[in-house]
Amino acid sequence: MPAKTATIEKRVRYIPAVDNLARVPFSTEYVKRRTAAYARVSTDEEEQLNSYEAQVQYYTEYIQSNDEWEFAGMYADKDRSGTTTKRRDDFNRMIKDAQEGKIDFIITKSVSRFARNTVDTLTTVRQLKEKGVEVYFEKENIYTLDSKGELLITIMSSLAQEESRSISENVTWGQRKRMADGKVSLPYKQFLGYEKGKDGLPKIVDAEAKIVRRIYRLFLYGKAPATIAALLTVDGIPTPSGKQEWRAQTVISILTNEKYKGDALLQKSYTVDFLTKKKKVNEGEVPQYYVEQSHPAIIEREIFDLVQQEWKQRKASGKQSSSVHPFSGRIFCGDCGDGYGSKIWHSNSKYRREVWSCNGKHYGGKKCQTPRLTNEEIQTAFVNAFNGLIDHKTEIMKAYGEICGILTDTAAIDAEREELQRECDVVMELLRKCIEENAHTSLNQDEYRQRYEGYTARFETARNKLVELDAERLARIAKRANITLFLETLEQRDGLISAFDEELWYITVENVKVYDGKRLIFTFKNGVTVEVPSTK
């Protein structure tokens, strides 16, 4: 018979919950909870700023009036987006203080004031929970250390995130509607030359417009963007954003921005994600709008187009300038075609001087016979060449005044562009209908693919031709601007020049070719060539 097993009596010991208020060791006294509050508004409108001030005052007085709480600070952000916590300085400072043990309890108005991003909300709450810090959302009556807290937070913050998405979509729709209506707005605080007028449209700021015109003039003189930036910095001219040091990229953005000729290309970039606010350059993903003559121009259209052509040529050649010196990039060897570069002779003596010679003179099998030239010789030759133009000023003005329009006419190009644009619009509509039909009707997919690829090829052909025509049109407009500027300069000269004029050189000279015996041939920007005989 088996032995009897002793009965073990089960005992349950009750362990009471720990009160939220921490007790001082070996004492019956309660320690006050170090309580902070967080407030945020996301716009700079007066009504919202009043709300911001009201929140700060309310929570400060609310915490200080509670005997069980010790005021641990008021944290508040304004002009910050709620969709992410990365750019909220006071919010991040509060979380840091809480993690360092300076805060026990945080009060905030609602989940949407804390964050509209579900991930940010839950991540932050859990980080604080690990440190024993509780957050109270007043509007929703949620305590994060409560057993139901995390589920409620997940639901509420998801709703807040959808609200943020809706707001973002509404704002985007409003912005695109304004663009479609041709309404232009500039980032005036970082845009040189304009301010917001009483009618809400861009208004020219004369002092800043002079700087913009100077940048364009220096560029056409051959200066590189980096050189222009250095000159502006030395002259103590502040950048569009108010900084003291100019960068080449800032100069380039001014030189290539169509708003300076009075037009506006809208939606150059767009927001990819409403949560991260990440922006992307618009490469056709969303529509763009080009508004002509939307506001007063600082730069004449012809000059702007001339600058775009010059910039295009410099990029294609791999050189951003013919800058540093007025002769750089404009003088070429008549033997090999290579450019002339400057060399310094006797650099450390009183006989120091700068000379110009063919860069390819000592390379290759055949040595160039072209001579070296001093600055003074080039300057004297230019004076003689330009005075040769003055001697025939009347004939040149008459001849080029008559043929300039013929040489640079864009009427035929414009007509062809309009026809191609209509072709693109028609094909795009056919593509849209083709895709829609395939989505709603059972089609033979081989036939559908053949139609689709046919429309696509047709569209690409028209678009590529448009690109070619745009390049040709820009080249003709630039040529017209060059000739017009040249003729205006020539007309303003009443007599011969007696000394080298750097500005005149930049405006009139296209290039100079050097031949044996120091024979120079000047080609001016209107196409006229003048030979300066050998000085031997």
Pairwise CA distance, residues 328 & 223, whole Å: 10
Number of Cβ atoms within 10 Å of the Cβ of 5: 6
pLDDT tens by residue, 440-453: 777 788 888 888 88
The backbone torsions φ and ψ at residue 299, rounded to the nearest 5 degrees and listed phi first, read: -110, 130
| Angle of the 375-391 helix axis to the 393-407 helix axis, nearest 10 | 90
| Residue 414 in tokens | 């414009």
Task: Give the three-state DSSP class for 86.
Answer: coil
Q: Where are the beta strands (DSSP E) in 428-528?
A: 509-515, 519-524
Q: Which residues contact 214 (CB under 8 A, 6 or more apart)?
A: none
Pairwise CA distance, residues 510 & 331, whole Å: 9
**H/E element, 127:** helix 118-130
| Residue 436 in tokens | 């829609």
Contact 361, 508 (CB under 8 A): no
Q: Which residues in the chain are classed under CATH 3.40.50.1390?
A: 33-167
Measured in whole angstroms, the distance separating CA 450 from the mean position of its chain's CA atoms is 40
Per-residue pLDDT of the chain (536 residues; tens, 9 = 90+): 444 555 555 555 444 544 444 433 444 455 788 999 998 776 544 444 456 677 778 888 888 888 889 999 889 887 555 445 556 788 889 999 999 999 999 998 887 777 656 667 777 887 888 888 999 988 878 888 876 666 666 665 555 555 555 555 554 444 444 544 545 667 778 888 888 888 777 889 999 999 999 898 888 777 788 888 988 998 899 999 889 899 999 999 999 888 888 887 765 554 544 444 566 665 555 556 667 777 888 988 878 888 888 788 777 766 555 455 788 888 999 888 888 988 888 767 777 788 898 887 766 666 788 888 988 999 999 988 888 888 777 777 766 666 666 667 778 888 888 888 888 888 888 888 887 887 777 778 888 888 888 888 888 888 888 888 887 887 777 777 777 777 777 777 778 888 888 878 887 888 999 998 889 999 988 788 888 886 55
Q: Which residues in the chain are classed under CATH 3.90.1750.20?
A: 188-312
Pairwise CA distance, residues 187 & 139, whole Å: 37
Q: Where are the beta strands (DSSP E) in 42-85?
A: 69-78
Number of Cβ atoms within 10 Å of the Cβ of 184: 19
Distances (CA, A) of 167 to 6, 14, 46, 309, 416: 72, 52, 19, 42, 44
CATH number of 33-167: 3.40.50.1390
Closest CA to 220 of 315, 316, 323: 323
Task: Give the three-state DSSP class for 259.
Answer: helix
Across the chain, mean pLDDT equals 76
Pairwise CA distance, residues 87 & 161, whole Å: 17
Contact 438, 451 (CB under 8 A): no
User: CA end-to-end span of the chain, whole Å?
Assistant: 140
For the domain made up of 188-312, the CATH class stated in words is: alpha beta
pLDDT tens by residue, 325-381: 788 888 999 888 888 988 888 767 777 788 898 887 766 666 788 888 988 999 999
Pairwise CA distance, residues 333 & 368, whole Å: 8
